[in-house]
Amino acid sequence: MDFWTEIPSLGRSDLRDLKKGIDASFKSFSRKYGADIEAFFDPLYFFLVKLEKILIAAPWPIILIIVAGLAYLGSRSWKLAFGSVLSFVIIGYFGMWKDMMATISLISVATIICIAIGIPIGILMSRYDRVQAAITPVLDLMQTIPIFVYLLPVVMLLGIGRVPGLIAVIVYALPPIIRLTNLGIRLVDKDVLEAADAFGSDYRQKLFSVQIPLALPNIFAGVNQTIMMALAMVVIASMIGVKGLGMPVLQSIQNQYLTLGLMNGLAIVALAIIFDRVSQRYGKRLQAHRYGKEHE
């Protein structure tokens, strides 16, 4: 009768041994190779720290000029450039300048790495159906697995600090750029590809002069999503010691500092809006030809 009421299960002690065994072997693995793996990520650490130091050390007016310049170049809108500068000034005025610089450097590095890894993987997926079939479930996993579950092994291997935080952000923010690169290339008009074939293009010529340019709006939507997801991870990353706007939010949750939480939270929102609007406008300009407008 037990069969109907109790689901067959591994005995309690067996289960405990299994967990213990895996934990122990992972621990010994991390003890043995942890240092090597950390060393492997050292360049990343230096890059991140360097960028953060430069951003913090730079005189604030120069940062504002750069922000205005980038916002204008991306969006071609003075309004947006002015709004960005204004947000930065307000954030600085309320004492969050350094944290903001730390967050921006984290987001920038994470985005650059996501682009560098994600676009080539997306291209491979678009070219080979098998690669797509193999990678899609991995992406699904990356997007659905609770963040804390993969934070744990990362922390065990690398300890707490910027690099594990960065890796956590990258794992979370990588899937959209891969997916949208793959999708964008696959959606390129078959007629145009056939024309490229008919004129004797080889794979590289087709990829660089037809597929990627025509997929750019989608690829750019992926970059935009990646930035947004990286920003969303800022608070969680602070739990494993990443400095920036997330840290005070975490503190305020633990200590019920309402105003501190609100201010830093709003600063993150402001950054998100600026990044989003500028990158979206830029993405739109990339497809100006579709609406029959001249390139600027």
Partner 1 sequence: MSKTKIEIKNLYKIFGPKDKSYVKAVKDGLTKQKLLDDHNHVLGLDDINLSIPEKKIQVIMGLSGSGKSTLIRHVNRLIEPTSGELFVDGENVLSMSQNQLREFRRKSTSMVFQKFALLPHKTVSQNVAYGLTIQGVKESIAKERSHRWIDRVGLSGFEERYPAQLSGGMQQRVGLARALATDAPILLMDEAFSALDPLIRTDMQNILLELQEELHKTILFITHDLDEALRIGDNIAILRDGRVVQEGDPQEIIMKPADAYIRDFIKDINRSKVIELRSIMNKKVKGSGKGLKLDMTIDEALPILNTSKNNSFSVVDNNNKVLGSVNLDSAINALAKDSTNDVAERYK
Which of 286, 61, 30 is CA-nearest to residue 154? 30
Q: Please state the closest distance from residue 41 (CB atom) to partner 1, in A.
A: 38
Q: Please state the closest distance from residue 193 (CB atom) to partner 1, in A.
A: 9
Q: Please state the closest distance from residue 180 (CB atom) to partner 1, in A.
A: 18
Of 62 and 198, the one with the shorter C-beta distance to partner 1 is 198
User: Among 77, 108, 132, 201, which residue interacts with partner 1 (rule: CB under 8 A)?
Assistant: 201
296 binds partner 1 (CB under 8 A): no
187 binds partner 1 (CB under 8 A): no
290 binds partner 1 (CB under 8 A): yes
Q: Please state the closest distance from residue 215 (CB atom) to partner 1, in A.
A: 10
Of 2 and 294, the one with the shorter C-beta distance to partner 1 is 294
User: Among 61, 137, 146, 200, which residue interacts with partner 1 (rule: CB under 8 A)?
Assistant: 200
Of 42 and 197, the one with the shorter C-beta distance to partner 1 is 197
User: Among 129, 205, 262, 269, which residue interacts with partner 1 (rule: CB under 8 A)?
Assistant: 205
- Give me the residues that bind partner 1 (CB under 8 A), please: 189, 191-192, 194-202, 205, 209-210, 213-214, 289-292, 294
